[in-house]
Structure 1
Amino acid sequence: MYVVSYFTSADEALHLAYSHDGEEFRTVNDGRPVLRGTVGTGRLRDPFIGIGPDGLFHLLATDGWTSPCIVHATSADLLTWSDQRLIPVMAGVEGAHNAWAPEFFLDRATGLYHLIWSSVVESGSTAEGRNFEYVSQDHRIWHCTTEDFRTFSDPAVFFDPGHSVIDATVHALDDGGFLMAFKDERGTNDPATAHKDIHLTTFDSPGGPYTSPTGPVTSSLVEGPALFRRGDDWVVIFDHFIEGRYGAARSKDGVEWEAVSLALPPGMRHASVLETPLPASFPAP
């Protein structure tokens, strides 16, 4: 089964949808949020759900536009969640302005979980007065590691191609390596911009070296990519954030991509896709 976690512009909270075939997604709770923010700014943006070392579902989410923390909670059934807490991933980094779009993945070689997110770090400046919603800032992908989601390593840069990038998402490959999609954040929020699109890279070990990025695999003015496998295909979905709709593409080899139509929830923003066995709390096929 596939579970999509997302927020909406009208309701910055955790929404869920599910699919048995990876094509038609149905909303949970009649499209209403299943969880609202209770810590920090009270916002749950860019929600990501993965399975942690305890076998529970772990939620990470962005705590507003300029928080140096990310939100964390756990659940056994995706519907009932633990108390939320803030993980101060960038709070100790001088000049850190934000921590966006957190996700995590397991490095099977070490048993460590890598949390990744996007941050602006400019020593001697603050986020105050900046228009993060509409004006691009100079982001890089950062990360830290954990074994138990209780203690975390110091943050460090994870991916820096020499220009602004956000919204990295990682999927394990069968050979032990990883495929990563990310947004080239250069350019402006204008259809004629040369960037603001999704690219791909691979790596064998977290932190690189990385293969030369391929792409773009989307048109411009998209963000929030999510990767999943559907049979023999790779599928990437992405947020046309200006147009208020979602797009998708599929590939046999991760190199050549073609557009594909999926039935996704209306109003969905910055979604992530979890491939998981069917929880008892969700309807059977």
Structure 2
Amino acid sequence: MYVVSYFTDADEALHLAYSHDGEEFAPVNGGRPVLRGTVGTGRLRDPFIGLGPDGLFHLLATDGWTSPYIVHATSADLVSWSEQRLVPVMARVQGALNAWAPEFFLDRATGLYHLIWSSVVEPGATAEGRDFEHLTQDHRIWHCTTEDFRTFSAPGIFFDPGHSVIDATVRELSGGGFLMAFKDERGVNDIATAHKDIHLTTFDVPGGPYATPNGPVTPSLAEGPSLFRRDGDWIMIFDHFLEGRYGAVRSRDGGAWEPVLLGLPEGMRHASVLETSASVLEVSALDALAAR
């Protein structure tokens, strides 16, 4: 079973849709949010859901454009959620102006969960008056680690290719190592721009070294990639953020990619796909929400 979490421009809150085949996704709760932000800015942008060490679903989300915190909550069924809290991932980093698109993945070799996100760090600068929504900033991918989602290591740079990058997402490879998709954030928000597209790399150990990036594997003006497996293929979805639509590509080996059609909710922004089993997720709960 596949569950996609997303927000919309009209409602920066947690929305869900699900699919039994990884092709057609049905919005739950009539397309309305299943959870609204209650801490920080009250926004839940770029929501990501994964399984934590306690067997619960852990939600991470962006707390607005210029917050150095990320939002965290847990759920046993994706319907009822714990009290939300702010994790100060960049709050103690001098010059940190934001913390965008948080996700996490497990390094089975160490048992540590790596939280990753995008941040601009400019000591002596301020986020006040910066047009983060429309103008490119100098981002890098940052991370910290945790065993329990209660205590976290100090943050540090996770991926720095020498230019601005955002929206990293990581999946474990069956033969060992990891596959990471990310957005090359150079360029401008114009259809004729260079960059502003999705690339991929691999690594054996979190923090690198990284293989030479493969890409771009999408057109320009794409962001928010998410990877999942379906019938032996890699599927990657991504947000055509200025066109108000979603795209998708597939690959057998993670190297060569081709377009694929999926049925995804309208208005979806910066989505993440969770693969889970019916034995873990109470499917009837989402079925009931979808039927409303």
The aligned counterpart of 2:167 is 167
4+ residue runs over 4 A deviation: none
Q: Tell me the alpha carbon deviations over residues 224-272 of structure 1, each in whole angstroms, 9 at most, x when there is no partner.
A: 0000000111000000000000000001111111101100000000000
Question: Is 1:66–2:66 an aligned residue pair?
Answer: yes
Q: Which amino acid aligns with 1:92?
A: R
The aligned counterpart of 2:57 is 57
TM-score calculated relative to the size of structure 1: 0.99
Q: Tell me the alpha carbon deviations over residues 154-177 of structure 1, each in whole angstroms, 9 at most, x when there is no partner.
A: 000000000000000000001220
Q: Which amino acid aligns with 1:182?
A: F
Following superposition, the deviation at residue 283 of structure 1 comes to 2.9
Aligned positions of 1:100-249 closer than 5 A: 100-249=100-249
Aligned positions of 1:77-116 closer than 5 A: 77-116=77-116
The aligned counterpart of 1:46 is 46
The aligned counterpart of 1:29 is 29
Question: Is 1:282–2:286 an aligned residue pair?
Answer: yes
Q: Which amino acid aligns with 2:7?
A: F
TM-score calculated relative to the size of structure 2: 0.96
Provide the secondary structure at the position in 2 that maps to 1:92.
coil
Q: Which amino acid aligns with 1:282?
A: L
The aligned counterpart of 2:13 is 13
Q: Tell me the alpha carbon deviations over residues 104-153 of structure 1, each in whole angstroms, 9 at most, x when there is no partner.
A: 00000000000000000011111111000000000000000000000000
Distance in 1, Cα, partners of 2:151 & 2:121: 23
Q: Percent identity?
A: 81
Provide the secondary structure at the position in 1 that maps to 2:286.
coil
Distance in 1, Cα, partners of 2:205 & 2:253: 20
Q: Which amino acid aligns with 1:283?
A: D
Distance in 1, Cα, partners of 2:253 & 2:87: 36
Provide the secondary structure at the position in 2 that maps to 1:282.
helix
How many residues matched? 284
Distance in 1, Cα, partners of 2:56 & 2:209: 31
Q: List runs of 5+ in structure 2 lacking aligned partners.
A: none
Distance in 1, Cα, partners of 2:252 & 2:49: 25
Following superposition, the deviation at residue 282 of structure 1 comes to 2.7
The aligned counterpart of 2:254 is 254
Q: CA RMSD in A?
A: 0.8
Distance in 1, Cα, partners of 2:201 & 2:123: 29
Q: Tell me the alpha carbon deviations over residues 1-24 of structure 1, each in whole angstroms, 9 at most, x when there is no partner.
A: 000000000000000000010000
Distance in 1, Cα, partners of 2:257 & 2:175: 21
Provide the secondary structure at the position in 2 that maps to 1:212.
coil
Provide the secondary structure at the position in 2 that maps to 1:283.
helix
Q: Which amino acid aligns with 2:230?
A: R
Q: Tell me the alpha carbon deviations over residues 181-221 of structure 1, each in whole angstroms, 9 at most, x when there is no partner.
A: 00000000001101000000000010000000000000000
Distance in 2, Cα, partners of 1:270 & 1:282: 21
Following superposition, the deviation at residue 82 of structure 1 comes to 0.2
